[in-house]
Structure formats: C-alpha cells, structure tokens
Amino acid sequence: MWLFRAKSQKLEETLSILAQIRQHSTSEEGIIILRQVLKSKYSIAVAQAAKIVGEFTITELVADLVEAFARMMVKPAQVDQNCLAKKEIAQTLYHLEYSDENLFLQGIRHIQMEPVWGGVEDTAAHLRGICALGLVRMNYSDVMNELADLLADPKPEARTAAAKAIAYTGNPQGVPLLRLKTRIGDQAPQVISECFSALLQLAPTDSLAIVASFLFDPKEQICELAALTLGESRLEEAFDLLRNCWGQTRNVELRRTLLLAIGMLRQDKAIDFLISLVAQGKDIDAKDAIAALGIYREDRELWQRVERASEQRANQLGL
C-alpha cells in the first residue's frame, strides 16, 4: 500500500509540474521538463507531455517522442494501458508532419489486448486510426493496402478511421474499396456512413447514385444516414433524389430526416421547397419543414420568409 501511495504521489507531482509549465512550455526550462517527462515510466504523464508538445508545435522534441513511443511498445499492455501515451504521441507526430513511415506502420498494425470484465479487449483501435492518417499525410507508397486491411479491422472505430483516411488520400483508387464495403454492409452504421461521405468526396458524380440507392434500404437507420450524407454533400443533383424519396416513403421519421437533409443542401430550390411546405403542406410536413429550416434561424431575411409562409398558412386555415 505504501509503495502504491508513493507511486501515485509521484505521478501527481509530475502532472502538477506539467500544468505549471504549460503556458511557457516552449521556454528552455519548459523543453527540459517535457523531455524529462517523455522519459517517464508513467504513461499518463507521457501522454500529457506529448499533448503539450503538439499544442505548442515543439519540433525539437520529435526524437524524444519517437523514443517514448518505442518504449511504450515494449510490454505495451503493462506500461501503457489503453494506449494512452502511444495515441497522444502518434497524434502529435501526425500534427508535426513526422515523415518516417516505420512508426506509423507499427502503430496501424498494433493490437493491444488488455483484460476487461469477462475476458480481454483490444485497446489499440484509435491508435491504428491515427497512424492511418499519418501514413496518408506522408504519402506512403503502399498506404492503400494498409487502409484496405484497416477497413476489415474487427473494431468499428478502426474501420471508421479507415474510411476517413481513404477519403483523406484524395485518391480515386480508394473508391472500389468503399463501394465494396457499402455493398457488403457493416454491423456498425457509423462505418457505412463514413463510407458514404468518403465516396461523395472522392467521386461525387459516380457515387451519387450509389449513395442514393441506400435511401430505400430495408434498414431505416441506413436510409437516414444516406439522406444526411447527401444533404451534407450539398451536391446540386442531390435535391431531386431526396425530394423523390420523401414523396415515395410513408415512414414519418424518415420523411422528417429527408426534409432535414434537404435543408442541409443550402440550395435555393431546396429552401423554396421547404417554405412551400410551410405555407401549403400537411400539418406534419409543415412542422417538419420549419424544423429543417431551423438551421437558417440566424439568417434574418430567410427566416422572415418562413414567418410569412406560416402567416399565409394561418390565413388559409382561418386561424
């Protein structure tokens, strides 16, 4: 018990010192302290030091970060539980545009099984995602193969990160991977959602019909994710696809989501359509259209149009 208390006190002291030097971390004294802490055996302290290095872009400590990462890979489940230090180090090196692929390759392939109630769990999914972005940023020659493997990762967090990283490449070679993933599906809806977004970023014209086809998926959540992704895309052609789906479906929740997606397009014809529903649509549609237009509440001129449409509706109903 005494030994545990002593270790806990030492960690608290280290974290306190980091808090004190945060605002002058780029000073000579600050860099000396950060360098010392990065050599610490306490992964929480190392993680905090790495975060400070990233926040203040202290490039002088890149070599120290790399050394700390390597140390945290030795008996990792013991020295760096939940990959706390490795995640912050990788994130900081990504921010500092570190360009040696070896560390990121080690990270994207790292699996760290740790005991949890009832068994063991891999705690390195987030780390793998960060390192994927690191490899993309440095234009690693074989990055697409690494991302293909990550897209099949057992952890949803890692698969989601893979889709984001594929979009980040800006390389159309990633499109077949994303199309395949959307077709075979995923138990985690956020993975498919990220694939939709990535497809519309990499190949908007060719992918529009693919994403739109999921507006009629048997799973309501997938339909809604497809709709919201189309709305976020702001693509000109997305309006007709969303409006047509809205006209065909009788699902109340999906119709509400489709109107929200139409509002997100920020197109004149989309706004005109929603305002027409406010003025002349069914009660539930008018209510949903007003909710969809809520994102424009700070636009005084547009919101006056919404208010006039509401008044027109009230007059027609004799209210």
Q: Which band of pLDDT confidence, cut at 50, 70 and 90, is reported for residue 3?
A: very low
Number of CB atoms found within 10 A of residue 74's CB: 9
Q: Do domains 28-170 and 203-319 have the same CATH topology?
A: yes
| pLDDT at 1 (0 to 100) | 35
| pLDDT at 4 (0 to 100) | 38
Superfamily of domain 28-170: Leucine-rich Repeat Variant (1.25.10.10)
Look at residue 115 and give its three-state secondary structure.
strand
Element (H, E) at 55: helix 43-55
| pLDDT at 318 (0 to 100) | 61
Tell me the backbone φ, ψ of residue 55, rounded to 5 degrees. -60, -35
Q: Where are the domains of the chain?
A: 28-170, 203-319
Do 252 and 259 contact (CB within 8 A), yes or no? no
Annotation: CATH topology of 203-319: Leucine-rich Repeat Variant (1.25.10)
Q: Is pLDDT at 2 greater than 60 in this prediction?
A: no
Q: What is the pTM of this model?
A: 0.91
Higher per-residue pLDDT: 116 or 105: 105
Average pLDDT over residues 206-223: 96
| pLDDT at 253 (0 to 100) | 97
Average pLDDT over residues 131-136: 98
Number of CB atoms found within 10 A of residue 75's CB: 9
Average pLDDT for the chain: 95
| pLDDT at 314 (0 to 100) | 87
pLDDT per residue over 252-298, tens digit each? 999 999 999 999 999 999 999 999 999 999 999 999 999 999 999 99
Side chain identity at residue 242, one-letter code:
L
